[in-house]
Amino acid sequence: MSLNEEPWGLSGVRVVLVEPSHPGNVGAVARAMKTMAVRDLVLVNPARYPSAEATARASGADDILAAAPVVETVDEALAGCIFVMGTTARRRHLPWPVVDAAGGAERLLKERVQGPVALLFGREHSGLTNEEVERCNALVRIPANPAYSSLNLAAAAQILCYELYRQSGEGEPLADAGQAPRVEATVDEVSGMLEHLRRVATAVEFLDPQSPRLLMRRLGRLFNRARLERTEVQILRGLLAAVERKLRPGAAVDGQSGDSAGPYEGNGP
Q: Contact with ligand SAH (CB under 6 A): which of 16, 36, 88, 112?
A: 88
91 binds ligand SAH (CB under 6 A): no
Shortest separation between residue 15's beta carbon and ligand SAH, angstroms: 10
149 binds ligand SAH (CB under 6 A): yes
Shortest separation between residue 78's beta carbon and ligand SAH, angstroms: 15
Q: Contact with ligand SAH (CB under 6 A): which of 156, 193, 197, 235?
A: 156
Complex with ligand SAH: residue 126 or 224, whichever CB lies closer: 126
Complex with ligand SAH: residue 144 or 253, whichever CB lies closer: 144
- Provide the 3-class DSSP secondary structure of residue 226: helix
Shortest separation between residue 119's beta carbon and ligand SAH, angstroms: 9
Cα distances from 222 to residues 149, 226, 238, in angstroms, run 40, 6, 19
Per CB under 6 A, residues contacting ligand SAH are 87-90, 121-122, 124-128, 140-142, 144, 149-151, 153, 156
